[in-house]
Amino acid sequence: MEGKRRLTRRSFFRGSGVLAAGAALAACGATATPQAVQETVATGVTVAVETVVAVASPAAQSPVTVSWWTPPLWALGVGGNTPDAPPDAWVKDAVARYQESHPGVTIDAQVIPWGEWNQKVLTSFATQSWPNLVYRGLTTGDTTAAGNMALNVDAGIVAPIDDIITGEDKEDIGKADWDLCAYKGQIWSWPLFTDPSILVINKSIFQEKGVEDLLPKEPERKWTYEDFLTAAKAVTYSTSGGSEPDVYGLGLSGDSQFYFSMGYMLLAYGGKKYSKDGLKVLFDDPLTIEYLEFMKALQDEHKVMVPNLPPGNDVKQYFYDKKVAMRMWWCGIASEIESGLATGKIQGPFELMFLGSPNQPDVPYRRHAGANELTLMQTPDPGTLRASGDFLRFLTDTENSKAWKQGGFFPTRKSAGQGLFDDPNFVWVTDNLLPLEDCYWDDQAGGMNPKAANALADAKIDDMVQNVWQLVMLGKATPEEALGNAAAEANAALEVALSAG
């Protein structure tokens, strides 16, 4: 009798084997799960329409928990003026304020570090374990952010928010920002804030060289590529009087170039990336080629640009150390410089000036911004969806939108942005840059064909663009060769994807 109960090594491993087989079967059988989820998601779509109607009620009737994932966007705390504030300070405050006025609703907020953000969000999408509200920024989809929106909508994982948007909201936030969130005639995201690309100038270098008058004039601060080249030449010099410069007019890196050179500066030059419908890559457009030839000449012929495309962190350091007078970046640099000056990491004088990209005379002057959004995700529970929509409205009201006055962000709500800033650079962005037409999504608008977006992602379009930039600037190919090859490869991938039915 006892022999039967003995746990022998063989029986132990047999048991383990059964468990392993079970695990394997569970893994192989997981294909059934998405189908089940699809059913619940489908239910969620129906519910979403309900949500929108019922969202006017202040709070859900029964206790409900809303999960909200955000990166550490509010870096300066509750008042927007505490440099060492915990990354979740503003979030905790907002959650406490909301929960106080909405008994029965619990907000489970998670502030996820940037380093983990992409991985965590994309994994949650892939494993059908997404939160109720999620920040959607440029990081969730590189080149094909707009396309990802389309793909996510088509996959049924996000909920439409049309019915929680009032006419007042539509007026208060620019059409370009709403258009970014639109797909198939519905709105799928709330534009929270914008962080436009800008050319950041260390005005002190210009002042030291006595060439401040080469910078664009107030109030519009517009300039051409010719003006830009003249200014860059004037601030490229050797501090020791040698023949080789150790201060350069312009610093651009080999990474992040899509947003900060191939994007804004290329479009302001008149170049193109894609056709309006996103179905054709236009890298081989003559003006795109000419733009890269111009950039190459900045480095090799005029020698006003730091050679060999240093890493982004190096360019940042050179700018802090006054080795670079101009770089393409975003307004968040103001608080970095301020903090650096206060702690002595950056030596003064260091006066910042924000500018737009230089423009070719016949190209309209535009901004390069896009928006960063908050997305309501599908859930089968109507109460949760309703409460999530209500919390989304709370986070995006005028008062809470004013909290974007930190870290270099600008609220998309005009009512929140009016008179919010007193720094002349931020006032210039608010009054002169933001009202301009946005060129960021000009060639890949929210309605981009999801198949094309997917094909471009599969064809590693971002790597292609980055390769083109590096091939040309590192002297491995001519602009015509690099752009021509990239366009041919990308268009071949697009053709295959679009002809697949």
- Least separation in angstroms between residue 376's CB and other proteins is 15
- Least separation in angstroms between residue 369's CB and other proteins is 23
The pair phi, psi for residue 194, each rounded to 5°, is: -125, 150
Among 4, 27, 344, 422, binds other proteins (CB under 8 A): 27
Instruction: Give the whole-angstrom CA distance, residue 458 versus residue 437.
Output: 30
Taking CB under 8 A as the rule, does residue 12 contact other proteins?
Answer: yes
The pair phi, psi for residue 297, each rounded to 5°, is: -65, -35
Among 122, 211, 297, 436, binds other proteins (CB under 8 A): 122
Taking CB under 8 A as the rule, does residue 7 contact other proteins?
Answer: yes
Residues 151-170, interacting with other proteins (CB under 8 A): 151-152, 155-157
Instruction: Give the whole-angstrom CA distance, residue 167 versus residue 119.
Output: 36
10 Å CB burial of residue 130 (0-12, 13-18, 19+) is: buried
Q: How far is CA 19 from CA 9, 10, 22, 425, in A?
A: 15, 14, 5, 64
- Closer residue to other proteins (CB): 226 or 495: 495
Taking CB under 8 A as the rule, does residue 478 contact other proteins?
Answer: no
- Closer residue to other proteins (CB): 3 or 361: 3
- Least separation in angstroms between residue 125's CB and other proteins is 5
- Least separation in angstroms between residue 407's CB and other proteins is 22
Angle 479-499/461-473 helices, nearest 10 degrees? 170
CB 223 within 8 Å of CB 439: no
Instruction: Give the whole-angstrom CA distance, residue 393 versus residue 51.
Output: 13
Taking CB under 8 A as the rule, does residue 1 contact other proteins?
Answer: no
CB 447 within 8 Å of CB 433: no
CB 428 within 8 Å of CB 354: yes
Scanning 87-95, 116-124, 222-230, 409-417 for contacts with other proteins by CB under 8 A, the matching segment is 116-124
Residues 31-90, interacting with other proteins (CB under 8 A): 31, 34-35, 37-38, 41
Taking CB under 8 A as the rule, does residue 286 contact other proteins?
Answer: no
- Least separation in angstroms between residue 401's CB and other proteins is 30
- List, in sequence order, every residue forming a beta bridge with 134; answer none if it has no partner: 69, 375
- Closer residue to other proteins (CB): 321 or 397: 321
- Closer residue to other proteins (CB): 310 or 370: 310
Instruction: Give the whole-angstrom CA distance, residue 433 versus residue 174.
Output: 13
Q: Which residues are CB-neighbours of 79 under 8 A, at least 6 positions away?
A: none
- Least separation in angstroms between residue 13's CB and other proteins is 10
Q: Which residues are CB-neighbours of 256 under 8 A, at least 6 positions away?
A: 312
Residue 219, both tokens: 């109030």
3-state secondary structure 204-240: HHHHHHCCHHHCCCCCCCCCEHHHHHHHHHHCCECCC
- List, in sequence order, every residue forming a beta bridge with 374; answer none if it has no partner: 135, 190
Taking CB under 8 A as the rule, does residue 308 contact other proteins?
Answer: yes
Taking CB under 8 A as the rule, does residue 20 contact other proteins?
Answer: yes
Among 128, 204, 224, 415, binds other proteins (CB under 8 A): 128
Taking CB under 8 A as the rule, does residue 26 contact other proteins?
Answer: yes
Among 19, 49, 53, 492, binds other proteins (CB under 8 A): 19
- Closer residue to other proteins (CB): 80 or 254: 254
- Closer residue to other proteins (CB): 46 or 308: 308
Size of the site for other proteins (CB under 8 A): 54
Residues 429-458, interacting with other proteins (CB under 8 A): 457-458
Sketch the per residue contact string, 322 through 361, with other proteins: x for CB under 8 A, - otherwise.
Answer: -x--------------------------------------
Scanning 11-19, 193-201, 265-273, 397-405 for contacts with other proteins by CB under 8 A, the matching segment is 11-19
Instruction: Give the whole-angstrom CA distance, residue 234 versus residue 229.
Output: 9
Type and span of the H or E element at 180? helix 175-180
Taking CB under 8 A as the rule, does residue 318 contact other proteins?
Answer: yes
Type and span of the H or E element at 116? helix 114-126
- Closer residue to other proteins (CB): 28 or 218: 28
Taking CB under 8 A as the rule, does residue 30 contact other proteins?
Answer: yes
CB 288 within 8 Å of CB 387: no
- Closer residue to other proteins (CB): 51 or 257: 257
- Least separation in angstroms between residue 387's CB and other proteins is 22
Query: Can you tell me whether residue 309 is helix, strand or coil?
Result: coil
Scanning 5-13, 228-236, 337-345, 424-432 for contacts with other proteins by CB under 8 A, the matching segment is 5-13
10 Å CB burial of residue 25 (0-12, 13-18, 19+) is: exposed
Write out the DSSP string of 76-89.
Answer: TTTTT--TT--TTH
Residues 232-251, interacting with other proteins (CB under 8 A): none
Residues found near other proteins in the complex (CB under 8 A)? 6-7, 12, 16, 19-20, 23-24, 26-28, 30-31, 34-35, 37-38, 41, 118-119, 122-123, 125-126, 128, 142, 148, 151-152, 155-157, 254-255, 308-314, 317-318, 323, 457-458, 460, 463, 466-467, 470-471, 474, 476
